[in-house]
Structure 1
Protein backbone atom coordinates (compact mmCIF):
# COMPACT_ATOMS: atom_id res chain seq x y z
CA UNK A 1 0.00 0.00 0.00
CA UNK A 2 2.74 2.46 0.93
CA UNK A 3 4.60 1.63 -2.25
CA UNK A 4 1.60 2.57 -4.36
CA UNK A 5 1.16 5.87 -2.52
CA UNK A 6 4.87 6.69 -2.82
CA UNK A 7 4.87 5.88 -6.53
CA UNK A 8 1.75 7.97 -7.12
CA UNK A 9 3.31 10.81 -5.14
CA UNK A 10 6.49 10.68 -7.20
CA UNK A 11 4.46 10.64 -10.40
CA UNK A 12 2.60 13.73 -9.23
CA UNK A 13 5.86 15.53 -8.40
CA UNK A 14 7.41 14.57 -11.74
CA UNK A 15 4.28 15.62 -13.65
CA UNK A 16 4.22 18.94 -11.80
CA UNK A 17 7.88 19.62 -12.57
CA UNK A 18 7.48 18.58 -16.20
CA UNK A 19 4.38 20.70 -16.70
CA UNK A 20 6.39 23.87 -15.98
CA UNK A 21 8.71 23.19 -18.90
CA UNK A 22 5.92 21.91 -21.13
CA UNK A 23 3.97 25.15 -20.61
CA UNK A 24 6.97 27.39 -21.38
CA UNK A 25 6.14 27.98 -25.07
CA UNK A 26 2.47 28.80 -24.70
CA UNK A 27 2.00 32.22 -26.27
CA UNK A 28 5.63 32.47 -27.46
CA UNK A 29 6.84 32.74 -31.05
CA UNK A 30 8.58 29.76 -32.64
CA UNK A 31 12.31 29.77 -31.90
CA UNK A 32 14.90 29.08 -29.23
CA UNK A 33 14.89 30.53 -25.70
CA UNK A 34 17.41 30.39 -22.86
CA UNK A 35 16.64 28.08 -19.95
CA UNK A 36 17.38 30.31 -16.95
CA UNK A 37 17.45 27.24 -14.68
CA UNK A 38 20.15 25.46 -16.72
CA UNK A 39 22.52 27.35 -19.05
CA UNK A 40 23.57 24.03 -20.64
CA UNK A 41 20.11 23.62 -22.15
CA UNK A 42 17.52 25.73 -23.94
CA UNK A 43 13.92 25.57 -25.07
CA UNK A 44 12.83 25.24 -28.69
CA UNK A 45 9.28 26.48 -29.21
CA UNK A 46 7.37 25.20 -32.20
CA UNK A 47 3.65 25.53 -32.68
CA UNK A 48 3.14 26.17 -28.95
CA UNK A 49 4.98 22.97 -28.01
CA UNK A 50 8.08 23.00 -25.81
CA UNK A 51 11.20 20.96 -26.58
CA UNK A 52 14.10 20.96 -24.11
CA UNK A 53 17.40 20.79 -26.00
CA UNK A 54 20.89 20.29 -24.61
CA UNK A 55 24.07 22.03 -25.63
CA UNK A 56 27.12 19.85 -26.35
CA UNK A 57 29.25 19.10 -23.30
CA UNK A 58 31.03 22.16 -21.95
CA UNK A 59 28.94 24.69 -23.92
CA UNK A 60 26.21 27.04 -22.72
CA UNK A 61 23.28 28.52 -24.61
CA UNK A 62 23.58 32.22 -25.46
CA UNK A 63 20.40 34.03 -26.44
CA UNK A 64 22.47 36.77 -28.11
CA UNK A 65 23.69 34.44 -30.87
CA UNK A 66 20.96 31.82 -30.49
CA UNK A 67 23.68 29.18 -30.23
CA UNK A 68 25.62 27.00 -27.85
CA UNK A 69 28.98 28.62 -27.15
CA UNK A 70 32.02 28.26 -24.90
CA UNK A 71 31.43 29.92 -21.51
CA UNK A 72 34.58 32.08 -21.80
CA UNK A 73 33.73 33.46 -25.25
CA UNK A 74 32.36 37.00 -25.13
CA UNK A 75 28.91 37.52 -26.56
CA UNK A 76 29.02 37.94 -30.35
CA UNK A 77 28.31 41.25 -32.02
CA UNK A 78 24.92 42.14 -33.35
CA UNK A 79 25.90 40.97 -36.84
CA UNK A 80 25.33 37.35 -35.78
CA UNK A 81 22.04 36.16 -37.21
CA UNK A 82 19.49 34.16 -35.30
CA UNK A 83 18.19 30.97 -36.93
CA UNK A 84 15.41 31.53 -39.38
CA UNK A 85 12.43 29.42 -40.26
CA UNK A 86 12.07 29.39 -43.99
CA UNK A 87 8.90 31.12 -45.08
CA UNK A 88 8.71 30.43 -48.80
CA UNK A 89 8.05 26.98 -50.16
CA UNK A 90 11.20 25.45 -51.54
CA UNK A 91 13.78 22.73 -50.96
CA UNK A 92 14.83 24.05 -47.53
CA UNK A 93 11.27 24.61 -46.33
CA UNK A 94 10.39 21.06 -47.33
CA UNK A 95 13.52 19.53 -45.76
CA UNK A 96 11.81 18.47 -42.51
CA UNK A 97 8.65 17.19 -44.12
CA UNK A 98 8.33 13.55 -43.04
CA UNK A 99 11.48 13.67 -40.86
CA UNK A 100 11.75 13.09 -37.14
CA UNK A 101 12.48 16.08 -34.91
CA UNK A 102 16.21 16.63 -34.60
CA UNK A 103 19.24 18.18 -36.24
CA UNK A 104 20.55 17.28 -39.70
CA UNK A 105 23.75 18.25 -41.50
CA UNK A 106 23.50 20.76 -44.34
CA UNK A 107 25.59 19.21 -47.15
CA UNK A 108 25.93 22.59 -48.88
CA UNK A 109 27.36 24.44 -45.87
CA UNK A 110 29.03 22.52 -43.00
CA UNK A 111 28.91 25.55 -40.68
CA UNK A 112 25.09 25.38 -40.71
CA UNK A 113 22.58 22.63 -40.05
CA UNK A 114 18.85 22.06 -40.27
CA UNK A 115 16.85 21.72 -37.08
CA UNK A 116 13.53 19.95 -37.57
CA UNK A 117 10.80 20.58 -35.04
CA UNK A 118 7.16 19.65 -35.43
CA UNK A 119 7.55 19.57 -39.24
CA UNK A 120 9.08 23.06 -39.39
CA UNK A 121 12.57 23.64 -40.82
CA UNK A 122 15.00 25.98 -39.06
CA UNK A 123 18.39 26.86 -40.52
CA UNK A 124 20.87 27.06 -37.62
CA UNK A 125 24.40 28.47 -37.70
CA UNK A 126 27.35 27.11 -35.79
CA UNK A 127 29.56 29.51 -33.88
CA UNK A 128 32.34 31.00 -36.03
CA UNK A 129 35.05 28.45 -36.69
CA UNK A 130 32.90 25.41 -35.85
CA UNK A 131 31.21 22.92 -38.17
CA UNK A 132 28.21 20.70 -37.53
CA UNK A 133 28.93 17.04 -36.82
CA UNK A 134 26.04 14.60 -37.21
CA UNK A 135 27.83 12.01 -35.03
CA UNK A 136 27.65 14.17 -31.90
CA UNK A 137 24.68 16.34 -32.98
CA UNK A 138 26.80 19.39 -32.22
CA UNK A 139 29.02 22.08 -33.66
CA UNK A 140 32.65 21.33 -32.96
Structure 2
Protein backbone atom coordinates (compact mmCIF):
# COMPACT_ATOMS: atom_id res chain seq x y z
CA UNK A 1 0.00 0.00 0.00
CA UNK A 2 2.88 2.34 0.85
CA UNK A 3 4.57 1.73 -2.54
CA UNK A 4 1.33 2.47 -4.40
CA UNK A 5 0.82 5.73 -2.50
CA UNK A 6 4.44 6.75 -3.12
CA UNK A 7 4.13 5.99 -6.86
CA UNK A 8 0.89 7.96 -7.10
CA UNK A 9 2.51 10.87 -5.26
CA UNK A 10 5.50 10.88 -7.65
CA UNK A 11 3.17 10.88 -10.67
CA UNK A 12 1.25 13.80 -9.17
CA UNK A 13 4.49 15.73 -8.61
CA UNK A 14 5.69 15.06 -12.18
CA UNK A 15 2.33 16.15 -13.61
CA UNK A 16 2.30 19.34 -11.54
CA UNK A 17 5.83 20.28 -12.69
CA UNK A 18 4.85 19.96 -16.33
CA UNK A 19 7.51 17.32 -17.00
CA UNK A 20 6.74 14.82 -19.73
CA UNK A 21 4.96 11.71 -18.54
CA UNK A 22 5.69 8.17 -19.60
CA UNK A 23 3.40 8.34 -22.66
CA UNK A 24 4.91 11.64 -23.84
CA UNK A 25 8.39 10.15 -23.57
CA UNK A 26 7.44 7.30 -25.92
CA UNK A 27 6.53 9.65 -28.76
CA UNK A 28 10.07 10.89 -29.36
CA UNK A 29 11.03 13.00 -32.36
CA UNK A 30 14.50 11.41 -32.42
CA UNK A 31 15.14 10.42 -36.06
CA UNK A 32 16.94 7.24 -34.95
CA UNK A 33 14.05 5.94 -32.86
CA UNK A 34 13.02 2.51 -34.15
CA UNK A 35 15.41 2.58 -37.10
CA UNK A 36 18.00 -0.11 -37.77
CA UNK A 37 21.67 0.79 -37.36
CA UNK A 38 22.99 2.72 -40.35
CA UNK A 39 23.37 6.06 -42.10
CA UNK A 40 20.45 8.41 -42.80
CA UNK A 41 20.10 11.92 -44.27
CA UNK A 42 20.23 14.74 -41.73
CA UNK A 43 17.00 16.73 -42.23
CA UNK A 44 18.65 19.78 -40.64
CA UNK A 45 21.87 19.90 -42.72
CA UNK A 46 22.65 18.39 -46.11
CA UNK A 47 26.40 18.70 -45.41
CA UNK A 48 26.16 16.00 -42.74
CA UNK A 49 24.38 12.71 -42.11
CA UNK A 50 23.01 10.81 -39.15
CA UNK A 51 24.62 7.60 -38.03
CA UNK A 52 22.16 5.62 -35.91
CA UNK A 53 23.58 3.05 -33.50
CA UNK A 54 21.25 1.20 -31.11
CA UNK A 55 18.68 4.00 -31.40
CA UNK A 56 21.22 6.72 -30.59
CA UNK A 57 21.95 9.52 -33.06
CA UNK A 58 25.45 10.62 -34.05
CA UNK A 59 25.93 13.46 -36.54
CA UNK A 60 28.82 13.01 -38.99
CA UNK A 61 30.03 15.99 -41.05
CA UNK A 62 30.86 15.60 -44.74
CA UNK A 63 34.33 16.81 -45.77
CA UNK A 64 34.89 20.05 -47.72
CA UNK A 65 31.67 21.23 -49.43
CA UNK A 66 30.22 17.80 -50.08
CA UNK A 67 26.63 16.80 -49.34
CA UNK A 68 25.28 13.47 -48.15
CA UNK A 69 23.90 11.33 -50.97
CA UNK A 70 21.49 8.78 -49.44
CA UNK A 71 21.25 6.69 -52.62
CA UNK A 72 24.91 5.67 -52.38
CA UNK A 73 25.35 6.40 -48.63
CA UNK A 74 28.44 8.61 -49.01
CA UNK A 75 29.26 12.30 -49.06
CA UNK A 76 29.21 13.43 -52.66
CA UNK A 77 29.54 16.46 -54.90
CA UNK A 78 26.30 18.48 -55.00
CA UNK A 79 26.35 18.78 -58.78
CA UNK A 80 27.67 15.34 -59.63
CA UNK A 81 25.69 14.12 -62.65
CA UNK A 82 26.26 10.45 -61.95
CA UNK A 83 25.93 10.96 -58.23
CA UNK A 84 29.30 9.29 -57.86
CA UNK A 85 32.64 10.57 -59.26
CA UNK A 86 34.11 7.06 -58.96
CA UNK A 87 31.43 5.47 -61.12
CA UNK A 88 33.25 3.49 -63.82
CA UNK A 89 36.74 4.20 -62.42
CA UNK A 90 39.26 1.64 -61.26
CA UNK A 91 39.94 1.37 -57.54
CA UNK A 92 42.57 3.89 -56.46
CA UNK A 93 43.19 7.50 -55.49
CA UNK A 94 42.29 10.45 -57.71
CA UNK A 95 42.68 14.21 -57.57
CA UNK A 96 39.72 16.08 -56.10
CA UNK A 97 39.12 18.87 -58.63
CA UNK A 98 37.06 20.87 -56.11
CA UNK A 99 39.53 20.80 -53.21
CA UNK A 100 43.29 20.37 -53.55
CA UNK A 101 43.58 19.62 -49.81
CA UNK A 102 41.71 16.35 -50.25
CA UNK A 103 41.58 13.44 -52.70
CA UNK A 104 39.12 10.81 -53.85
CA UNK A 105 39.56 7.20 -52.91
CA UNK A 106 37.56 4.92 -55.20
CA UNK A 107 36.72 1.48 -53.86
CA UNK A 108 34.32 -0.86 -55.67
CA UNK A 109 32.70 2.10 -57.44
CA UNK A 110 32.10 4.05 -54.22
CA UNK A 111 33.62 7.47 -53.56
CA UNK A 112 35.38 8.38 -50.34
CA UNK A 113 36.78 11.88 -49.88
CA UNK A 114 39.89 11.86 -47.71
CA UNK A 115 41.46 15.00 -46.26
CA UNK A 116 45.17 15.70 -46.39
CA UNK A 117 46.69 16.61 -43.00
CA UNK A 118 47.15 20.30 -42.11
CA UNK A 119 47.74 22.44 -45.23
CA UNK A 120 49.14 19.68 -47.41
CA UNK A 121 47.91 19.17 -50.98
CA UNK A 122 47.38 15.94 -52.90
CA UNK A 123 49.81 15.08 -55.72
CA UNK A 124 48.41 12.33 -57.95
CA UNK A 125 51.76 11.62 -59.64
CA UNK A 126 53.26 10.40 -56.36
CA UNK A 127 49.92 9.50 -54.72
CA UNK A 128 50.70 11.48 -51.55
CA UNK A 129 49.77 14.62 -49.67
CA UNK A 130 52.73 17.03 -49.77
CA UNK A 131 53.59 20.60 -48.95
CA UNK A 132 52.41 22.99 -51.69
CA UNK A 133 55.01 24.24 -54.13
CA UNK A 134 56.38 27.67 -53.35
CA UNK A 135 57.06 30.38 -55.83
TM-score (norm 1): 0.42
Higher relative contact order (CA 8 A, sep 6+): 1
TM-score (norm 2): 0.43
